[in-house]
A = this chain, B = another copy of it.
Amino acid sequence: MSASAKEPRWERRKQDRPQELLAAALELFVERGYAATRLEDVAARAGVSKGTLYLYFDGKESLFKSVVRTNMLPLLDQAEARIEGHAGSSGELLRELIMHWWQAASHSGVMGIAKLMVAESGNFPELARFYHDEITARGDATVVRVLERGMARGEFRHIDAQAMKKVIIAPLIMLMLWERSLAPCAADPIDPQAYLQSMIDLCLNGLNT
């Protein structure tokens, strides 16, 4: 397994290839969109040749799917772990989830994935379904749990949690989209911190009893 003894530089690079390719692919898919991304460019950015890519992925679509899966699942795990271990008020829990989520998202490829999924899910029904089942549904459920926790503890007003979860998630997704897709062209870029503060402020004032 871990051949720590002798590391023949070659073996080591081999193991890194998939991740290097995934990283390069993420950048380019986000930058240019699925169709406009050329596999040759992905390979070049990963420092390998075109053919090498096919040693690790079946093709463009397979690469795309791997990019999505690799980047999204860890974040969900984190969020769910955090909600498990929380003891304080539900408002505080919501704030924490939002802020930590943003912390993680802004340091990973997650923001780009969000844009990709919006842009391409029409072209990949299979991937869209996977994304909904594994990512969206889990994220939604997390928010619903917080809302129901708050209502059960008398901290939140009584609301329609199923509808509200989407309202609450929407600004988070849009923040990612703006950062990745629209911000570069905006004269007045969004300040994520102020944005998130306002969002949390609105939510807590709007939800608390």
Choice from B32, B121, B182 contacting A181 with Cβ under 8 Å: B121
Q: Which of A6-14, A69-77, A86-94, A172-180 contacts B (4 or more CB under 8 A)?
A: A172-180
Choice from B31, B166, B206 contacting A201 with Cβ under 8 Å: B206
Contacts A119-B119, A121-B185 given; indicate if A190 touches B166 (C-beta within 8 A): yes
Complex interface residues of chain A between 146 and 186 (CB less than 8 A to chain B)? 157, 159-160, 162-164, 166-171, 173-175, 177-178, 180-182, 184-186
Q: Which of A15-23, A42-50, A125-133 contacts B (4 or more CB under 8 A)?
A: A125-133
Complex interface residues of chain A between 27 and 70 (CB less than 8 A to chain B)? 30-36
Is there contact, CB below 8 Å, between A118 and B198? no
Is there contact, CB below 8 Å, between A118 and B121? no
Q: How many Å from the CB of A129 to the closest CB on chain B?
A: 5
Is there contact, CB below 8 Å, between A125 and B185? yes
Choice from B136, B159, B180 contacting A198 with Cβ under 8 Å: B159
Choice from B128, B129, B171, B185 contacting A167 with Cβ under 8 Å: B171
Q: Does A194 sit at the interface, judged by CB under 8 A?
A: yes
Q: How many Å from the CB of A162 to the closest CB on chain B?
A: 8
* Interchain Cβ contacts under 8 Å between A and B, 14 examples: A33-B122, A35-B36, A115-B119, A118-B177, A118-B181, A119-B119, A119-B120, A122-B180, A137-B187, A166-B171, A167-B195, A167-B202, A168-B202, A171-B174
